[in-house]
């Protein structure tokens, strides 16, 4: 059996910013270390929860370099290279490879709506061809409710056929179990192709269907609890375990607050670093009153763990 | 009466690319000269029709410098600085100002959907504050059917109130006459604030309502005809003139082809430079058969001008 190109529990790492809204590198590095220590197999730097597209390519490159300079191993890192311009995506991928990170998570170009599968194929092919490094692994990023641009199973199948090894996997953040099953079928036809779900609430379903794990915003908050299900998914009572794991998502999203702002507010509370609540516009930080509402909702829902 | 900050007919300049999909600078400069000679008061470099967001900030800066180096006057240029990351928008605006171009056209950050007016205000305010140059003029860009993010009249009013002079105008590409009227009301409350429509089919309505002109993709193809209506909008028969002007839009969009790919194909035909048909992914160039269909539709619709 061909091993999956990548598997496990990953956090799309939240990006702390200072008062000037520049990336707070010391806080960022400390957080990356905590995530790896607390349960994550690896880190996705600059996914949607990281506010990736709110930072310039230069800012993203500098942050990656700081994390590597701090001693966090390159093999633990997937670099989000999602941008509206394919040339920026190439630059970010080349930079990652030059620094020993050969895995990238790639959004489709997301400005123009209603683009064709042919156009998306050409966009991803341009990136793969321009980078031109056989070590590159691209994990395509399906999050249509945010990016506006979905990836079809047919497109993924074509990419995996024409770029074997380079087209290494997909992250499905649609939250749609039917779509996850379609992507798992693509993976079944291309051994080694890794399917990640974008919500830990589908982790069990994904692992049972041959998927690779999850890259979930909630892994920024409860990496240990998500890791525990990942380790025990074959155990008796896994369904109940999955059900219990959903408590934070249900509580946090039940408030109606932006999920990224909420995850940052929870991190601020955990670390007692108030600056963690900040976000870059166009997102808006939770107000103190909203933070209180969030913390109350989470406290009420938190299970008593044995 | 306070003069408008800017007025006239502008083309969001199409961006030609070579076989490697890099910007074809000689063709670009030649096209900019043709637009100014043929009817445009000025040029918007890097709007939606320019595939702005498909190019990196470095590519956009290099293209602006090439155009200026070729002798095209800075005062004829509005620089599109729309990006998903507000830090990129700041960098592009600073670069423009450093090269004598003090007018920018600014998209809202367009990755995250359903952002609040407060978040958009903070994004635009960040850009204005960081650039920190009183010469800056920002023209906000409302094109919700593409960017996914609309600008409300209330937001524009707040920007014009808190950043007088810097918040200099808006481009309304919604194509909605009701929305255009709302923006004209904002302008009436802030003398000098310029309202451009994004379709030449609303040029007469916009000028009659106190608007400043249009920034229209079709100005890449028929700048002379749009300019003629601009010059004659007070004349008897202006309604008929407007009606006649819509022929190209109706014919080109009637084919169902992507409007940008179509405008490039028409430019290829006019200039006999076949490379003009190329677009950057995720857009897809018209095939030879599609080009033939387009040219036939346009030829059939073209009015016999006196």
Residue B131 resides in a domain: yes
The interaxial angle of helices B288-301 and B259-271, nearest 10 deg, is 80
What is the C-alpha separation between B25 and B27, in angstroms, rounded? 5
User: Can you tell me whether residue B83 is helix, strand or coil?
Assistant: coil
Q: Which two tokens stand for residue A119?
A: 């156009």
The answer to whether residues B288 and B163 belong to one domain is no
- Can you tell me the mean pLDDT for A276-294? 98
Q: What is the pLDDT of residue B251?
A: 95
Number of Cβ pairs closer than 8 Å across A and B? Answer: 120
Q: What is the pLDDT of residue A226?
A: 98
User: Which of A54, A113, A116 is the closest to B86 by Cβ?
Assistant: A54
Q: What is the pLDDT of residue B305?
A: 61
| Domains in chain A, number | 2
Partner B contacted by A56 (CB < 8 A): yes
Residue owning tokens 């779900």:
A197
The answer to whether residues A162 and A62 belong to one domain is yes
Q: What is the pLDDT of residue B2?
A: 82
State which residues form the domain around A276: 246-306
Residue B3 resides in a domain: no
Partner A contacted by B283 (CB < 8 A): yes
Residue B128 resides in a domain: yes
Partner A contacted by B55 (CB < 8 A): yes
What is the C-alpha separation between A105 and A169, in angstroms, rounded? 9
**What is chain B's pLDDT, residue by residue, as a tens digit (306 residues)?**
689 999 999 999 999 999 999 999 999 999 999 999 999 999 999 999 999 999 999 999 999 999 999 999 999 999 999 999 999 999 999 999 999 999 999 999 999 999 999 999 999 999 999 999 999 999 999 999 999 999 999 999 999 999 999 999 999 999 999 999 999 999 999 999 999 999 999 999 999 999 999 999 999 999 999 999 999 999 999 999 999 999 999 999 999 999 999 999 999 999 999 999 999 999 999 999 999 999 999 999 998 764
Query: Cα–Cα distances in Å, from B46 out to B107, B141, B195, B275, B290?
Result: 11, 12, 19, 19, 26
Q: What is the ipTM of this complex?
A: 0.96
Residue A305 pLDDT grade (very low, low, confident, very high; cuts 50, 70, 90): low
The answer to whether residues A252 and A302 belong to one domain is yes
Partner B contacted by A25 (CB < 8 A): no
Partner A contacted by B287 (CB < 8 A): no
Interface test with A, best of B84, B259, B261 (most A CBs within 10 A): B84
Partner B contacted by A92 (CB < 8 A): no
At A174-183, the pLDDT tens digits run 999 999 999 9
Of B191, B214, B237, the last residue of a domain is B237
Q: What is the pLDDT of residue B285?
A: 98
The answer to whether residues A257 and A133 belong to one domain is no
Q: CB distance A281–B109 less than 8 Å? A: yes
Interface test with A, best of B282, B284, B290 (most A CBs within 10 A): B282
Partner B contacted by A191 (CB < 8 A): no
Give ∠ CA B288-B289-B293 in degrees, rounded to 5. Answer: 115
Residue A16 resides in a domain: yes
The answer to whether residues A22 and A88 belong to one domain is yes
Q: CB distance B111–A110 less than 8 Å? A: yes
Q: Which two tokens stand for residue A40?
A: 């994550």
Partner B contacted by A110 (CB < 8 A): yes
Q: What is the pLDDT of residue A303?
A: 86
Q: What is the pLDDT of residue A304?
A: 74
Q: What is the pLDDT of residue A1?
A: 66
- Can you tell me the mean pLDDT for A283-296? 98
- The CATH number of the domain holding residue A42 is 3.20.20.70
What is the C-alpha separation between B63 and B46, in angstroms, rounded? 10
The answer to whether residues A174 and A210 belong to one domain is yes
Q: CB distance A83–B86 less than 8 Å? A: no
Nearest chain A residue to B50 by CA: give it.
A112
List chain B residues with CB under 8 Å of A149: 282
Higher per-residue confidence, A110 vs A306: A110
Interface test with B, best of A125, A281, A290 (most B CBs within 10 A): A281
The answer to whether residues A79 and A170 belong to one domain is yes
Q: What is the pLDDT of residue B27?
A: 98
The answer to whether residues B233 and B251 belong to one domain is no
Q: What is the pLDDT of residue A86?
A: 98
Q: Where are the alpha helices (DSSP H) in A246-306?
A: 247-254, 259-271, 288-301
At A124-179, the pLDDT tens digits run 999 999 999 999 999 999 999 999 999 999 999 999 999 999 999 999 999 999 99
In chain A, pLDDT over 90 holds for what percent of residues? 98
Q: What is the pLDDT of residue B303?
A: 86
What is the C-alpha separation between A238 and B254, in angstroms, rounded? 56
Residue A2 resides in a domain: no
Q: CB distance B111–A86 less than 8 Å? A: no
- Can you tell me the mean pLDDT for A67-82? 98
List chain A residues with CB under 8 Å of B88: 56
Nearest CA to A123 out of A155, A169, A170 is that of: A155
Q: Which two tokens stand for residue B223?
A: 């700048």
User: Can you tell me whether residue B95 is helix, strand or coil?
Assistant: helix
The answer to whether residues A197 and A252 belong to one domain is no
Q: Which two tokens stand for residue A266?
A: 């929870």
Q: What is the pLDDT of residue B1?
A: 66
């Amino acid at each position: 059996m061909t091993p999956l190109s990548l598997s496990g529990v990953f956090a799309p790492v939240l990006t702390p910013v200072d008062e000037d809204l520049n990336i707070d590198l010391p806080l960022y590095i400390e957080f990356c270390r905590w995530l790896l220590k607390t349960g994550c197999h690896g880190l996705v730097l600059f996914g949607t929860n990281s506010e990736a597209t709110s930072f310039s390519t230069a800012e993203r490159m500098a942050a990656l370099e700081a994390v590597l300079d701090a001693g966090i191993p390159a093999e633990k890192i997937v670099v989000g290279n999602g941008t509206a311009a394919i040339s920026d995506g190439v630059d970010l991928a080349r930079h990652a490879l030059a620094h020993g990170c050969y895995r990238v998570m790639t959004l489709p170009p997301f400005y123009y709506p209603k683009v064709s599968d042919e156009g998306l194929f050409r966009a991803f092919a341009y990136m793969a061809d321009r980078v031109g490094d056989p070590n590159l692994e691209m994990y395509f990023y399906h999050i249509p409710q945010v990016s506006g641009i979905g990836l079809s199973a047919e497109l993924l199948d074509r990419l995996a056929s024409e770029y074997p090894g380079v087209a290494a996997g997909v992250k499905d953040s649609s939250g749609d179990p039917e779509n996850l099953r379609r992507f798992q079928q693509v993976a079944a036809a291309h051994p080694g192709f890794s399917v990640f779900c974008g919500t830990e609430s589908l982790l069990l379903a994904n692992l049972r269907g041959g998927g690779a794990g999850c890259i979930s915003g909630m892994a920024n908050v409860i990496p240990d609890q998500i890791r525990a299900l990942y380790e025990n998914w074959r155990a008796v009572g896994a369904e109940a375990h999955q059900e219990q794991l959903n408590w934070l998502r249900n509580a946090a999203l039940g408030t109606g607050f932006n999920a990224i702002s909420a995850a940052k507010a929870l991190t601020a509370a955990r670390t007692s670093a108030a600056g963690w609540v900040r976000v870059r516009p166009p997102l808006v930080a939770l107000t103190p009153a909203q933070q209180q509402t969030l913390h109350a909702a989470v406290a009420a829902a938190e299970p008593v763990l044995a």
